[in-house]
Structure 1
Amino acid sequence: MPIYVRHASCVLLLAAAVAAVAGSESTPDSARSELQLEFADLLLDDERYWEALQAYTLAKEGAKPEQMLRASAGSLRSAITVAEFTRAYQEALFLGEQGVEDPGMRTLRADAFWSAGLFDEAEAMYRDILSAHAAHAGARHGLARSLAAGNRAADALAEVRAAIAADDRPEYHHTLGSIYRRLGRYPEAAAALAPSADPLPNVRGHRRT
């Protein structure tokens, strides 16, 4: 059975399990939240971002503190992808109130600030993360975007190259290409954008109606 068929089957089976558990009064709230979180994670992996956002929201009902953090982080990631920047910013504020220390969650918070146009605040957050986790690719990439937004393309170029060296993701190449364009280095921009052309998330087919 092809991998994508198995993945789709898992989503359907877990959706059925979520529905069954949700209708059972004997199931503890935290167990419902855990199953809802697993379902939301599958939807996110399947690039069904609007549905994932809804599933993460439902997972917050009766969630334990650790589950609440996971649901908020998933909501934030989904919201940014579908350009729900106000929602992402609200989730970032919540995570900040919880005093999260995980560099991945802290980078997500900074990404939400950047998406909300708070570039200076986001840059300070990225730098704070990198002061303790110098090799964190997500924070390097975020700092590169912040520097580019502040017309510091040369500095941004060094940061995004460091991000790619640590974790070769398509979106990092997209940022690299954008920075090369700012610098007027168009052949290099085209070469950098080529690896990112197909794998970037496609949200159109799953947009809320």
Structure 2
Amino acid sequence: MRLSLRTVTILAALLVALPVFVARTFTQAVSPEAAEVQLQLADMLYEQGRFIEAFDAFELAGTVTDTRLRRRAFSGKVRTRLRMAEFVGAYDDAKVLIDLSPRDPEAVTLHGDALWALGRFQDSEQRFEEALTLNPESSRARHGRARSLASRSQLDQALDEAQAALRLSPRDGEIHHTVGTIYERMRRYEEAANAYGSYVNLLPNKDRSVKAAWSRAEVEFLRAFKSKVPFEADPAVWKQLHVVPFRTVNEKVMVKAKVNKGAAMDFVLDTGSELTVITRDVASRLGVKAISETLSAGVGDFGLRGLQVGRIDTLTIGTLELRNVPCLIKNPPLRGLPTREAESFSPISLGLSMLIDYGRQELVIGSELPQEPYDYRLPLRVHRLAMVQGMVNDDPANFVVDTGGQVISISTDTASGLDRDQSVRQIPLKVYGTSGWDKDAFLLPGVHLAFQGIQYSNFPVVVLNLRAPSILLGFQLGGIVGHKFLSPYRAALDLKTSEIRLKRLPGGAQASN
């Protein structure tokens, strides 16, 4: 299961489809004895993966006046809401929990998990460190630290922390899953498959969720590499900078690339996709065979969409040549769109940093980028996709950095949380994604955006339903920044330093305008 985001031609391929639960409201407090029964029932239901029913029981138990029992109930509510991808509700319950137990390491960790689920990564890091100060043996806090380190591309340290967490809680499936994602980014596919397999084995027997199906398919896909080294290249390739010319077509960066030594063809530079993407026709013509099938769900009316994953023998982009490159095959193709689905790639998905100069029309790819003067430096996170922190009006939000996108967008969840003039007209838009047309997209004027020193005042943004990719990623997406955001700059996305460096080009438009 793979993720790909794109704005205005927004593509959001997803892994999971979890149920959305609207909780009942309980107004009458239960006795301590009844609360204890409800908590035992809730724990049993949670372990069985029956999260909606578990939440009901936790919520009822939470009406008790006994502080100790309320702590247990709200702890369960937070954990359950996180599993159901109810990110805002989980954060609301975590605030109650932390008021009840401000110095309890489990409560502090859950508060950190809830902050992470809102995309407030820096705040969540601080909470995990506080929890570890209170209890250095907290497996969940160490897991939080591992996940945070991985998002800053500090993979060796992240793996150490995740394995330490596993030694403390060997039956915590989520930690196994995080270990799998770290191994996968380290290109250690057999170990990643083993970790995902452990995650699957720890799932409830009745778990038939899309996420469980994806994990099983991922194990099959990773093990199909066998002795083949993913992203294999000659040693010199990793040490040099690869300069690739590009042209801009409809605000998309197009480069020439070759698949399996075939003729050069256009590829979209698309950091909104976690894998190299090819169409069914290209795969058939150039001998890229599907290894396994996966499910995706994206922006549009069709919902879930079945796709294939495969392996490109050689991918050549200028002087960069990689072997055994994982790819997403758009099969079956989506019909009824105004443009054909395009081939695309992202240096970030290849494990490489990139520098894009819209003035010179040059893309630079390498393991280590040159240090150059910059006007702005923004923290970069990578969790399947590249992300940057921003502010929407007065609220923090994380944005996918999507070179394949065109405009600046925010999610419907972000828009619904804004304190704004309801009389401002929402202008309907025609937007399509991986699942067809999104009939609910609209243009929202008068929004203030800030990315440290970069500000957009009284700015019109596209509002998109990013609920599904948020579920996949495990945290709420604030929006997407694309060509509109990046094109005034010489922009470096540096994995080694975990930062985005922006140098304004001569004549580059001022963001505040």
Give the TM-score of the pair, scaled to structure 1: 0.76
- Residue type at the aligned position of 1:178: T
> Shift of residue 28 of structure 1?
6.8
2: CA distance, partners of 1:30 / 1:166: 31
- Residue type at the aligned position of 2:126: A
Number of residue pairs aligned between Structure 1 and Structure 2: 179
Aligned pair 1:195/2:198, yes or no? yes
Structure with more of its chain in helix, by fraction? 1
**Match for residue 102 of structure 1?**
104
> Shift of residue 203 of structure 1?
7.4
Q: Aligned in 2, Cα 1:28/1:126: closer, same or farther, shift over 3 Å?
A: closer
Conserved in 1, the CA contact under 8 Å of 2:77 and 2:93? yes
Aligned counterpart for 2:38 among listed residues 21, 36, 52: 36
Percent same amino acid at aligned positions?
A: 36
**Match for residue 69 of structure 1?**
71
2: CA distance, partners of 1:42 / 1:189: 30
1: CA distance, partners of 2:85 / 2:30: 34
Return 5+ residue gaps in structure 2 as ranges.
Answer: 1-28, 211-513
Conserved in 2, the CA contact under 8 Å of 1:47 and 1:203? no
Q: Deviations over 1:24-62 (max 9, x none)?
A: xxx973333333223222222332110010111122234
**Match for residue 50 of structure 1?**
52
What secondary structure does 2:201 align onto?
coil
- Residue type at the aligned position of 2:199: S
Q: Deviations over 1:126-167 (max 9, x none)?
A: 111212322221111111011112322222111112112222
After the TM superposition, which of the residue ranges 165-174 and 79-88 deviates more from structure 2?
Answer: 165-174
**Match for residue 21 of structure 2?**
none
2: CA distance, partners of 1:130 / 1:62: 29
**Match for residue 125 of structure 2?**
123
Conserved in 2, the CA contact under 8 Å of 1:114 and 1:146? no
Report 1:9-24 matches (<5 A): none
Aligned counterpart for 1:183 among listed residues 172, 183, 186: 186
Aligned pair 1:174/2:177, yes or no? yes
**Match for residue 296 of structure 2?**
none
Q: Aligned in 2, Cα 1:135/1:60: closer, same or farther, shift over 3 Å?
A: closer
What secondary structure does 2:170 align onto?
coil
- Residue type at the aligned position of 1:65: T
Aligned pair 1:89/2:75, yes or no? no
What secondary structure does 2:193 align onto?
helix
Return 5+ residue gaps in structure 1 as ranges.
Answer: 1-26
Q: Aligned in 2, Cα 1:71/1:132: closer, same or farther, shift over 3 Å?
A: closer
1: CA distance, partners of 2:84 / 2:148: 20
Q: Aligned in 2, Cα 1:161/1:34: closer, same or farther, shift over 3 Å?
A: closer
2: CA distance, partners of 1:45 / 1:70: 15
- Residue type at the aligned position of 2:128: Y
